[in-house]
Structure 1
Amino acid sequence: MGVHHCRLLPPSMKVSSFSGDIYRLSGYATLRVTLEDGPRKETRQVDFIIIDAPSGYNAILGWPAIAAFCMVPSTFHLCIKFPTPLVIATIRGDGAGAKKCFEISARLYTDHLDPREHALPSADQYDYVTIANGKSILICKDYPENKKPALAALLSEYFDVFAWGPKDMPGIKRNIAEHQLTLKPDATTIRQKKRSFGGKKQQAIKEEVKKLLAAGFIKEIAYPS
């Protein structure tokens, strides 16, 4: 393609594909690109970003090329138009070729579903041991029987270090949890209308609010109406 040298890009620059894959940008090169429609043609210098990634395309003309050629693309008509010193040139795409490139790209797609088993272990593999205040923990059945009492006693001694529920978790600093909104000093306050939700949504909201109230994360505040 006539690429003699590549200008490197910072190693932190990356792009992600529609499939979720992340690729590091190797650099970019400036190439002479010529578009022609018979005697009507134009040549421009276009920057191409180089990515080491599988693709059914050799190169993709993006917005820099569209701007350089002052072209007007139409995906519906599968063609582009751009001005030349003679007249407006029109280049039509190859429908069969576009379909072939799409099929190649589809075959290159890698399914990244993790084949490992992530199911929770069966409860039959554990024994329930009550340590304090009716709280139970799970101890693997393969753990030596003669050591289980000592382990249970140790866990009972440090019962207070466990977070048995949201209320046992330490609070987050207000300067982290709170956000500041920048408002105009002369802005007029507006009372928003109460939103109405359907039965299922309303029930779900009530359950979530109960959880937050029980955990002490929120509290009711009465505003003047």
Structure 2
Amino acid sequence: MTYRLAVAFLLISAGLSAQTKEEVALNNLAISLMDEGNYKEALIHLDKLTAASGNNFVYRYNRAVTLFNLKQYQEAIKEYKFLHELIPDQSEYVFQIGNAYEQIDSVEQATDFYTQAINMDADHFIYFFKRGTILLKQNKLQEAVADFTSSIALNPKHHNSLHNRGITFYKLGQESKACADWCQSFQLGNTYSKSHIDQNCSKIQACVPSK
């Protein structure tokens, strides 16, 4: 969630000119509460801000993040869709719509919005990782491998992409590739990969995790 808040901070300068000092103080208070994980109280302040200045995308973004963390996914989707209409070229909003749909198991809609986000901006590894994970759940294995490979190309140290690609390779019957991915993932700190190595890679000498 730190990454998502950082995006809001990068965007905030564009919205400051429309903010009063009182609004800035209230928004900063809401952000502090969000940082503390106190999303319920943060939402009270953000509701006031959006009621007073409904088109301010900084407030709406922070409100969307807060709603998501409160697991009010349908309301979060509404906020992100509003933001997408307000700023159509911002892929982050489209991605977050997909992320919220994934939480309520709307797989087709999540996949569609992840794809839209990738088409808008293919430089974010997390977009490929999230779509790849959904494709893996749907057993669309070749497509999942392609997405995890794209994610790894953008961020070679993303151990979750390596771990999930390992699972996908294993389902495809490519045990050596699976074990190589799990070993690399484990070396990068993914403890879940260790159980896969222990269960499936004992006969493959190439798969020896670092101690």
Same fold (TM over 0.5): no
Task: Specify which structure has the higher proportion of helix.
Answer: 2
Task: Specify which structure has the higher proportion of strand.
Answer: 1
Normalised by the length of structure 2, the TM-score is 0.21
Normalised by the length of structure 1, the TM-score is 0.20
